[in-house]
Amino acid sequence: MSERTTPEGELERQFERTVAAEARIEPRDWMPDGYRRTLIRQIAQHAHSEIIGMQPEGNWITRAPSLRRKAILLAKVQDEAGHGLYLYSATETLGADREELTRNLIEGRQKYSSIFNYPTLTFADVGVIGWLVDGAAICNQVPLCRTSYGPYARAMIRICKEESFHQRQGYELLMTMMRGTEEQRRMVQDATNRWWWPSLMMFGPPDGDSPNTRQSMAWRIKRHTNDELRQKFVDMTVPQAERLGVTLPDPELRWNPERGHYDFGTPDWAEFKRVVSGDGPCNAQRLAHRRKAHEDGAWVREAAAAYAARRSAERKGAA
């Protein structure tokens, strides 16, 4: 039966059956408007985070302490650019316009992860970002490999493989520094102190304060709540911190044998709201840098469009 003659109700039941059976929704399938809008918003926000996320570490490429560290860092930052491009492509399969999404980002209408609004003060920050920020991203993103929208789920499989390289390179850098001088160990501890709480905030507000979670879980876009993922991250990270020999800056952090999880303190949600709403230490700088990069790239986009137009005219002429 063609789509035109199928009643809307039947399409919706088909959509729900597909989601319930853990099969994937593909770009040509019918989907509710809200599902499409939610996905475009979520994937765009994710893409923006990958692109803006290049800046804090990119800041250290020219000052990496050795050729090896520079090569690793360059590869990592380039991976993040690739993740952004994949994800913008995924939004295009939903009918979004990449140019418009970029405008939404640089004009401040769409958000990116609040974590990238904090400064990178020393080279230890590069290691701690790999360990904690990419580590938190992995907790968030591994379940997205099973998200109900096919192109997003498939993009996440490749992205997660690269994120796990990012996490390891960060941890390896920190291990090296911890085996170094007293000054290097101090740098690692200081970077850990600064990044720990913002990393916990990466999972979003507490479940009671996250209005979209229930619908996203019903659509199987989201597979776990913010608090479940945050707990998973804490449980995974505490033994890594012990192994590394750093202290996580939370006096309430302790193993709870009854729950079988670590208890931990409450992030400063007022700070989170401030940073999300644009008032973090680096928000203005990050957006200004992105805007300038976009403007500087205008000639490339114009040249590519002119070339594509000429090629298509030539093809028509030849036909």
**Number of residues located near Fe ion, criterion CB under 5 A:** 6
Of 3-11, 14-22, 42-50, 263-271: span binding Fe ion (CB under 5 A): 42-50
* 83 makes contact with Fe ion (CB under 5 A): yes
134 or 250, CB closer to Fe ion?
Answer: 134
Q: How far is CA 49 from CA 6, 52, 134, 238, 254, in A?
A: 39, 5, 12, 25, 31
11 or 81, CB closer to Fe ion?
Answer: 81
The span from the CA of 110 to the CA of 103, in Å, is 9
83 or 194, CB closer to Fe ion?
Answer: 83
- Distance of closest approach, residue 53 Cβ to Fe ion, in angstroms: 7
What is the distance, to the nearest Å, from the Cα of residue 29 to the centroid of all Cα atoms in its chain? 26
* 250 makes contact with Fe ion (CB under 5 A): no
80 or 250, CB closer to Fe ion?
Answer: 80
Residue 92 · residue 79 · CB < 8 Å? no
> Which three-class secondary structure state does DSSP give residue 110?
coil
The full DSSP string for 285-296 is HHHHHHHHHHHH
Considering only CA atoms, which of 139, 142, 127 is closest in space to residue 174?
127
54 or 234, CB closer to Fe ion?
Answer: 54
Dihedral sign for Cα 75, 76, 81, 85, please. positive
* 80 makes contact with Fe ion (CB under 5 A): yes
Residue of the chain from 24, 48, 69, 166 that contacts Fe ion (CB under 5 A): 166
How many CA atoms are closer than 13 Å to the CA of 176, on its beta-carbon side?
15
Residue 129 · residue 53 · CB < 8 Å? no
Residue of the chain from 134, 200, 262, 283 that contacts Fe ion (CB under 5 A): 134
50 or 125, CB closer to Fe ion?
Answer: 50
* 163 makes contact with Fe ion (CB under 5 A): yes
- Distance of closest approach, residue 115 Cβ to Fe ion, in angstroms: 11
Of 120-128, 138-146, 161-169, 283-291: span binding Fe ion (CB under 5 A): 161-169
Per-residue DSSP letter, 60: T
Of 128-136, 193-201, 286-294, 309-317: span binding Fe ion (CB under 5 A): 128-136
State the residue for tokens 């990044």. 195
40 or 132, CB closer to Fe ion?
Answer: 132
- Distance of closest approach, residue 93 Cβ to Fe ion, in angstroms: 19
> Which three-class secondary structure state does DSSP give residue 149?
strand
110 or 140, CB closer to Fe ion?
Answer: 140
- Distance of closest approach, residue 14 Cβ to Fe ion, in angstroms: 34
Per-position b or e across 275-288, b if 16+ CB within 10 A of its CB: bbeeebebbeebbe
Of 127-135, 203-211, 238-246, 257-265: span binding Fe ion (CB under 5 A): 127-135
Per-residue DSSP letter, 248: -
Interface residues with Fe ion (CB under 5 A)?
50, 80, 83, 134, 163, 166
